[in-house]
Structure 1
Amino acid sequence: MPTRVVERVTDCEWSSRAVRLIEADARRSADTHLLKVDLPDWAARGDGIDLYLKDESTHPTGSLKHRLARSLFLYALCNGWIREQTTVIEASSGSTAVSEAYFAKLIGVPFIAVMVTGTSPAKTRLIEAQGGICHFVDSPSEIYTVAQRLEAELGGHFIDQFTMAERATDWRGNNNIAESVFAQLAEERHPVPEWIVVGAGTGGTSATFGRYIRYRRHDTRLCVVDVENSVFLPAYESGDGTLTSDTASRIEGIGRPRVEPSFVSQVIDAMVPVPDAASVAAMRFLSDRLGRRVGGSTGTNFWGVCTLIGEMVEKGRSGSIVSLLCDSGDRYDHTYFNDEWVDERKLDLGPPTAALEEFFATGVWV
């Protein structure tokens, strides 16, 4: 009896071209800088403490999420989920959608971002400038179901950063962010950092760093900072992955109202809770130190960094700490850098600002 061959009509030529376009774009893009931040004289005692920030704001779309978006598109293309004319849909608070709109435009497919009303207008404009469409919802819990509904209605692909982030990136190497950081530190006096400090949005960045550290057998520990209204820290403490929150994070890009599938808690060594007022105060303080504006999530990272450096000083330890400069503060003129916006939300920046000033003056972290 003859064997029947069942074939599916595919658009391999188009997919091959799309992958080539994304890879060519990556080759045109240089790696991001690892900035060394000047610390006060007390950090030079003994073998010293060094602080570095991986400046992800220099990507073509201006944020850390550019790496993730590239990985998500390549993953979906190579799985056959995005084809010619496929509408790509994402549930995003902003920066991921900005980067995904860029890649959608690059390969010529439509893009829709499902976002919570009140997302930074600057981010909305950036998405639309790339040809993307912004679809707003009132509640943060709606973004997932609305994205799934649009996927079904349009026959599109919900790219789903919150599920796919930890699997779309090759954490063993291939120039991921962890491999890049360790390569850039190779000639420094403390080439293997004591701590790496990141926030959790999807969980993909912390998963990549945590897995890479273990794979390369480094002694580095991973700290994840978490913000108000986020359930990552309570889930980490309790082990309950079903926790949810009805309130969205005020610090865009990090903190989630549910434990996202890409959040791999087992690779995290410590977590630090950061009040929103501390995130904003630290963002402004660091912006003044660097002479350039950084975003709110970078402020959250910096507060966690200061916490750990304070602990190192207290214990007489030396070494390096690495964190991320996630995006530029220019996107937040109307929010974190706007005093009226801060006052309306009753964020008292006085105490955390005083704590940072005292820390930089004395090396004592309270």
Structure 2
Amino acid sequence: MHAIECTMDELAYKLGIDPLDLRLRNYAEVDPSTEKPFTSKALRECYQQAANQIGWSERNPEPGSMTRGNKLVGYGMATGVWDAYQFPSRIEAIITNEGKLKINNAVTDIGTGTFTVMTQIAADELGLPIEDVIFSYGDSKKPFSMFQGGSSMTSSTGVAIVMAAKVLKKKLLEKAKKMSNSPLVDAVEEDVTFRNGGISLLHDPSVHISFQAIVTANKGQVIKTTKMGKPHLLKLRKYSKMTHAASFVEVEVDKDLKTITVSRAVTAVAAGKIINPKTARSQISGSMVWGISKALQEESVIDENLGKYINANLAEYHIPTHADVHQLEVIFADEKDDLINELGIKGVGEIGLVAMPAAIANAIFHATGKRINKLPIHFDELLE
């Protein structure tokens, strides 16, 4: 993506076309690499919303024309694309004696918000308050899960929770119908809703049986199921499934020292339904920092005589600190995807990184008039 997006920018300037306009003129409704339609694609909305937020139309497009004090100012943009992965995952779902829902899965949480989001999905599916859901994870003895990677955790394990919840709800209704003097004896799935920790009639919510009462009537035995969630491979073979993003950045380049600062960055993401905007925004912000790091700092240096790395620790392999990161903004474009999976979701863990390095490189060109095609971009390359 980096080479393509930098080349698109270079082409736009040579043709005298706005880099954003060039992308909009060549906007693809069908994946050109496979000739398949997308399950959904709100990239156009990402372009428009991020461009408006950063003030793209207000810039002077001439390279080297914008200044702020002793700084050259540049604007750049780029597109990000990431596969919308989903992998098999198995869930054990249990209604306990207290009427709470326990979810067992071997998934880990490495700080991405997995615990929060999985608990939230389970609570929504069974109509429970979030405090009545026990998400038990991080143990290889539990049903297997996808590893943390590939921006696929929520779409893999989250969808498995939905599948397990559907089976569990059928079991709960069957048990409720068999209770003595059950008001739900003639009810079918279409007649009921799961809410407030139990089952209610849709047309008369006052008719309600709690999960705890159902378990008690089941001789105190918990009600549980184990279910696999997996992608619909045959159906999805007809489509291209992608998460899309657009990153717009503003950079400042010191006129004398040529030091580079990413003063502002906006990334708009189209990833289907966003389960938890707070944790998703945190994920994307972290990826944007990663993108700044890739563009300006991260570099493995090898001694060509010895064949060894000479910066094999974090004292010499540079990554951003708080002082290197300034204003980051994340926008979620509205995107409905009924094809991708049962939740209509796509991953967001890495999409915030994809476009950032190219957007920064393009902004540096706009600020200085100098096109640098290798990463990381160091200030000394602007001194030459």
Higher helix share: 1
TM-score normalised to the size of structure 2?
Answer: 0.27
